[in-house]
């Protein structure tokens, strides 16, 4: 294979790439979001500077992707932390677990999503919307919300899921030290909210050394939402270079 042909490929294996070279469109994405209050010192220990934590809140999310171009249906769960950066409010993606390897690989390589493999699920059960996350054979999170108890304003729902998102991009060099280490920002675009609801909710987190969601313990459930939407993820842009110690 000639050099110019090699340069056309963005991932390995060279002749059977791990994910397609495209910007995926998410159709019928279903969210269960539970915002909870946690320990402020635990938050500060995991959120990198120059991001700032104002309130000790975490958003636990489970997302069921009904149809994703290039990847197919899959489910994802994780934790997002409300932060601010240079006066702009957004969320820092702390951890994401999903059951689709191509989406995991592309999220980590093309962007900076902190994705690893896990077994999340989202379903209705006896009047409750249930979101779970397992790591291997062990349960690490169980979330429940009253199923469509109250309509949520769709503009408010859109605001919940379209705040700027911050992530840490780290690419190791061959000597083991970081070759790239940047804070990047992205956001959701082309959003169509098809339905949105709120209601009472509960969240349980269980200790696991490889999926330490419970290191950000649940002190109080603040709010919950159930959102159905179509959307696109925009590309990431660097906003801070840790190796230079200055904003890009």
Please list the active-site residues.
115
| Tokens representing residue 34 in the block | 């539970």
Query: What does the alpha-carbon distance between residue 45 and residue 81 come to, in Å, rounded to a whole number?
Result: 12
| Tokens representing residue 236 in the block | 């990431």
Task: For CA atoms 68, 236, 169, 53, give the dihedral sign.
Answer: negative
Cβ atoms of 127 and 200 within 8 Å: the answer is: no
Q: What are phi and psi of 101, to 5 degrees?
A: -70, -45
- Rounded to the nearest 5 percent, the helix, strand and coil shares of the chain are 10, 55, 35
In 101-164, which ranges are E strands?
115-117, 119-125, 128-135, 138-146, 150-151
- Residue 88: how many other CB atoms lie within 10 Å: 12
For residues 162, 194, 62, 226, the Cα torsion angle rounded to the nearest 10 degrees is: 100
Per the document, the length of the chain is 248
Diameter of the chain by CA atoms? 60
| Tokens representing residue 21 in the block | 């070279």
Q: Which residue has the tokens 């601010």?
A: 84
């Amino acid at each position: 294979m000639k050099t110019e042909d090699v340069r056309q490929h963005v991932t390995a294996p060279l002749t059977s790439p791990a994910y397609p070279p495209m910007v995926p469109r998410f159709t019928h994405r279903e969210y269960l979001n539970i915002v909870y209050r946690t320990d402020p010192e635990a938050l500060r220990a995991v959120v990198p500077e120059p991001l700032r934590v104002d309130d000790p809140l975490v958003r636990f999310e489970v997302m069921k992707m009904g149809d994703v171009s290039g990847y197919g249906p899959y489910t994802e769960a994780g934790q997002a932390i409300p932060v601010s950066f240079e006066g702009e409010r957004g969320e820092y993606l702390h951890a994401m677990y999903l059951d689709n390897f191509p989406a995991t690989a592309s999220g980590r390589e093309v962007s900076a999503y902190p994705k690893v493999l896990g077994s999340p699920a989202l379903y209705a059960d006896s009047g409750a919307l249930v979101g779970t996350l397992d790591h291997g054979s062990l349960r690490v999170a169980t979330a429940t919300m009253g199923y469509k108890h109250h309509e949520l304003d769709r503009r408010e729902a859109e605001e919940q899921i379209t705040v700027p998102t911050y992530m840490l991009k780290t690419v190791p060099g061959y000597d083991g030290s970081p070759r790239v280490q940047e804070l990047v920002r992205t956001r959701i675009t082309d959003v169509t909210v098809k339905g949105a609801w709120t209601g009472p909710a509960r969240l349980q987190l269980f200790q696991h050394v490889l999926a330490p969601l419970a290191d950000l313990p649940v002190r109080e459930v603040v709010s919950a939402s159930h959102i159905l939407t179509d959307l696109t993820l925009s590309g990431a842009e660097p906003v801070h270079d840790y190796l230079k110690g200055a904003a890009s």
